Amino acid sequence: MKLKYNYRKLLSIIAIIAIWELLCDIGYINIKILPSPYVVLLTLYKLIISGSILIDMLTSLWRVIVGFLIAVFLGGITGYFTATNEKTRDFLIPIIEILRPIPPVAFIPLSILWFGIGNAPAFFLVAFGSFFPIYTNTFYGIKSVNKIHIDAALCLGASHKQLVFDVIIPAAMPFITVGLKTGIGVAWFCVIAAELVGAQSGLGYMIQLNRLTLQSENVIAGMVMIGVIGFLMSKMMVLIQKKLVPWSNRTL
Amino acid sequence: MVKFELINISKSFVKNDNKCKNETLILNDISLKINSGTFVSILGPSGCGKSTLLSIMAGFIPPSKGEIKFNDIPVIEPKPSRVVIFQDYGLFDWKTVQGNVEFGLKAKNIPKLKRKEIAQYYIDLVHLKGSENKYPHELSGGMKQRAAIARAIAIEPECLLMDEPFGALDSQTRNILQDEILEIWKKTQNTIVLVTHDEDEAVFLSDRIIVLSNSPANVIIDEDINLERPRFTEIRLRKDFIEKKNNLWQSLRK
């Protein structure tokens, strides 16, 4: 039953690619702007063999990791303190709510002005974009900690440290991991957007450069790579989630 | 020796509806002395404020008026010398049974190996051997409450405060756990204060029963239960047991 289901899912993908290939072969599609799947695959293979796309990939990944870790740090801290301290909440929430509705890509021009071209604007954009989902989920996670758990911990003699690290944070973890999962998706989106204009390396830069030189097969090969990496990153977050929340039988 | 002393305890909650302050009196001038090593039940209709009284005894909330002392020292905050057992268990979902039982031991700074050993002893005592590595969501209600009991008694508290601990369980499991809590109490010899609305449970377990009236709660009955110990479930069929139970039943429904 399951096999049949997976086979059906695969079928639609195969059908699309087959139609695409066919339309290119009979000359219905201008292969200058949309090369055939076969050409794309061949190009991707060549780019991998030569290693050039791998370098772009690693560059983008590095930017995502650094920016994302900054966001985890800042989002976690802000989420924790706004949830537990009323003064911090009143002070910080207005700032956060003013910045939140501005899409991270709207910060690209400013980030280039501030940080120039290269890693720095990408770090900034990634951190800025993934901050919000991480912050929000940490905030609600800590807000939703059941009072009975706090009471139980206190009457068992828990110290402040034990209360924070053994009760509040693990209790909030199902929410926090949702924030991390959303955050990594936003981070990947932001790094590609940043590289389209504010960098001279990375996968975003690579597809932009190939557009200028009219090598659409390279553009699509780069896009395939971006898709694959994005997919793998979200799969990896599911594994991390299982590791951080081994006690939850829910899959979020 | 007096363990708990409540002197003229009153508690009211302030509600703010539509700009006008509404003060509701929950507990009205309750004075009690509870002796060390006794099993005392606080019985009352649901919603009468008996859980509030237990929260005050635990130190979770302060009384509005009056004074409360434990071992002659004023109660101002929760302390591991009086551990609460909750109706909803209060187990840490992110910890295994073992981790839950070790929590209070960790707070006492007991070294890891020793902690494991002590936890194992209490897990065996509540008949949870083999479930050490299970998470709470993998346990039945009865097993969860057993784990919560093990976690509480592992730190050897002087007093156990039980807030309708068997209220969420089916009657068979409840009876089994009632027997077990008496067994445990015989070994630990600590003071137990049990809040319940079940007169059968109160008579079966207690040395003394305190009946609270409907809100604002006040002590209307305070009587000793002189049934001999050890008590087994057959005692429920005895005439004097049924009589005591019926008397309480009637006083609760006045």
Question: Min CA distance, B145 vs chain A (Å)?
Answer: 13
* Contact criterion met (CB < 8 Å) for A155 and B58: yes
pLDDT higher at B86 or B254: B86
Condensed to tens digits (0 to 9), the pLDDT of residues B154-191 reads 999 999 999 999 998 999 999 999 999 999 999 999 99
Instruction: From residue B86, give the alpha-carbon distance in Å to each of A44, B61, B89, B229.
Output: 61, 15, 5, 26
Residue B42 CA from chain centroid, whole number: 9
A contacts of B78 (beta carbons < 8 Å): 151, 154-155
Q: pTM, whole model, 2 decimals?
A: 0.87
Pick from A152, A156, A166: which is nearest to B155 by CB?
A156
A contacts of B147 (beta carbons < 8 Å): none
Instruction: From residue B152, give the alpha-carbon distance in Å to each of A89, A161, B86, B105, B174.
Output: 35, 20, 11, 10, 18
For residues B144-162, average pLDDT: 96
A interface residues, B as partner, C-beta within 8 Å: 148-149, 151-159, 162, 166-167, 170-171, 173, 245-249
pLDDT at B48: 86
Distance CA B82, CA B67 (A): 17
Distance CA A69, CA A123 (A): 10
Does residue B4 sit at the A interface (CB-CB below 8 Å)?
no
Does residue B156 sit at the A interface (CB-CB below 8 Å)?
no
pLDDT at A154: 96
Residues in chain A where the model's pLDDT stays below 50 = 251-252
pLDDT at B94: 95
Which of B26, B9, B3 is CA-nearest to residue B217? B26
Question: Min CA distance, A168 vs chain B (Å)?
Answer: 10
Does residue B165 sit at the A interface (CB-CB below 8 Å)?
no
Which of A136, A132, A131 is CA-nearest to residue A71? A131
B contacts of A245 (beta carbons < 8 Å): 94
Condensed to tens digits (0 to 9), the pLDDT of residues B28-72 reads 999 999 999 999 999 998 888 899 999 999 999 999 999 999 999
pLDDT at A9: 80
* Contact criterion met (CB < 8 Å) for A247 and B137: yes
pLDDT at A250: 53
Query: Which of A144, A155, A163, A169 has the highest number of chain B CBs within 10 A, making it the mutation to test binding with B?
Result: A155
Which of A184, A200, A199 is CA-nearest to residue A241? A184
pLDDT at A6: 72
Q: Which 3 state secondary structure label does DSSP give B159?
A: strand
pLDDT at B128: 95
Compute the C-alpha angle A41/A42/A44, nearest 5°: 65
Question: Min CA distance, B244 vs chain A (Å)?
Answer: 34
The first and second tokens of residue A217, run together, are 């097969």
Q: Which residues of B68-104 are buried (b: 16+ CB within 10 A; e: fewer)?
A: bebbeeebeebbbbbbbbbbbbbbbbbbbbbbbbbbb
A contacts of B86 (beta carbons < 8 Å): 148, 151-152
Pick from B58, B91, B94: which is nearest to A170 by CB?
B94
Pick from B94, B95, B108: which is nearest to A157 by CB?
B108
Q: Which of residues 130-149 of B touch A (CB under 8 A)?
A: 135-137
